[in-house]
Amino acid sequence: MSFITGVGLTPFGRHDGSSSLDLMSKAAQAALDDAGLKRSEIDGILCGYSTVSPHIMLATVFAEHFGIRPSYAHAVQVGGATGLAMTMLAHHLVDAGVARNVLVVAGENRLTGQSRDASIQALAQVGHPDYEVPLGPTIPAYYGLVANRYMHEYGVTEEDLAEFAVLMRAHACTHPGAQFHDPITVADVMASKPVAMPLKLLDCCPVSDGGAAFVISRERTNEAGVCIRGCAQAHTHQHVTTAPGLSELGAEISIARAMEATGLAISDVRYAAIYDSFTITLAMLLEDLGLAGRGEAAARVRAGHFDRDGAMPLNTHGGLLSYGHCGVGGAMAHLVETHLQMTGRAASRQVRDASIALLHGDGGVLSSHVSMFLERVR
């Protein structure tokens, strides 16, 4: 067993003059303070990758910068699934007795520290170097292809996808750290600039500066009794041209493995934190994970099912789509918000019951998946 003993999160948006290491340090110190730990008590560190600072030894670079000397250090790189993959690794490390307190941290000044062209070039490298990259697609284009196929097979419309952007913005409006606080409508999403049809600007997550961190411990260090009940991964492909059919993607595999490992079912879940780089990502993952039937997730949004006071509160901080996306730290914000909900510290966003939570991360183009169950214990 392992416990998430502390969490830290910066606001997302513009942080002029802050480097990636600055943002990581701010989030890391907040997580340590939350856990009631000193830097000297951290004996393991896991870092997410950075496109702004692509150092080949980022974990030890940060350890030096932050002033810690861990007995275990590792950097992890599986795209948007990295945050939960690091959490899973930390869980296994403390469970195996390799470390007592593992700091998981990521952050980037991706908005102010990287040009648009550099960002596009870096992210385009998820494509196959011979069969995809030379044709010019970027990540939005890959997801646009997936969206077109999904809409064709399951009768999903562009207006359906827009519902997810509206929901995430509504949730972000209640969080002071979110990048966006202006409400939007389905009409606003439909009228926004085309990016990679059917995806439009408001169907896509923004680029942000920010940092996130948490501490995974072998034992409780405070009153926060949030344990990692179990987790699992699945990796079905890297390149979209070799992806399996839409009904055979990794989310279905990882959630089945996680449920088998924990003995939990979707009906046990009270709060959901699901990766949402694009509206199509969120729609598909909700359905792949069994939180909605095929082609039915948008209808559940309209019915209020995923609202803060709905049957299955979802991404109550606003998700990647509206809280923001600073690289690996973007998805880690989902776990920070989940922890706050589970410990009753989400202020006006607090849901009725977050005793068991499901988190899911997606890396690449629905390539790498991590499903995780958290449980509040007394």
- Is residue 146 domain-resident? no
The residue written with tokens 């490390």 in the block is 93
Q: Do the beta carbons of residue 264 and residue 289 sit within 8 Å? A: no
Domain boundaries, position 7: 2-114+208-217
Which pLDDT score, from 0 to 100, does residue 224 have?
85
Per-residue pLDDT tens listing for the chain (378 residues): 899 999 999 999 999 999 999 999 999 999 999 999 999 999 999 999 999 988 999 999 999 999 999 999 999 999 999 999 999 999 999 999 999 999 999 999 999 999 888 888 888 888 999 999 999 998 999 999 999 999 999 999 999 999 999 999 999 999 999 999 999 999 999 999 999 999 999 999 999 999 999 999 999 999 889 999 999 999 999 999 999 998 889 999 999 999 999 999 999 999 999 999 999 999 999 999 999 999 999 999 999 999 999 999 999 999 999 999 999 999 999 999 999 999 999 999 999 999 999 999 999 999 999 999 999 998
CATH number, domain at 30?
A: 3.40.47.10
Instruction: Compute how many other C-beta atoms are within 10 angstroms of the C-beta atom of residue 71.
Output: 11
Quick check: is 12 in a domain? yes
Q: Is residue 375 part of a domain?
A: no
Pair of tokens at residue 307 = 């609202």
Please answer whether residues 165 and 185 qualify as being in contact, where contact means their C-beta atoms are separated by less than 8 angstroms: no
Token pair for residue 12?
A: 């997302």
Within a domain: residue 44? yes
Q: Is residue 104 part of a domain?
A: yes
Q: Are 258 and 231 in contact (CB under 8 A)?
A: yes
Place of tokens 């997730």: 297
53 lies in a domain?
yes
- What 8-state DSSP symbol labels residue 352? S
Model confidence, pTM: 0.97
C-alpha distances (whole Å) from 100 to each of 74, 106, 277 are 15, 20, 33
Domain count, the chain: 1
By C-alpha distance, which of 314, 292, 320 is closest to 160?
A: 292
Rg (CA), the chain: 19
Q: What are the angstrom distances between the C-alpha of 309 and each of 253, 303, 323, 344, 350? A: 29, 12, 19, 14, 9
In this structure, the strands spanning 101-109 and 199-200 are unpaired
**SS3 label, residue 276:** coil
User: Do the domain assignments include residue 236?
Assistant: no
* Per-residue pLDDT at 54: 87
- Torsion over CA: 237, 205, 104, 307 (sign): negative
* 170 domain residue, yes or no: no
Residues 6+ apart with CB under 8 A from 378: 225
Report the alpha-carbon distance of residue 26 to residue 212 in Å, rounded: 8
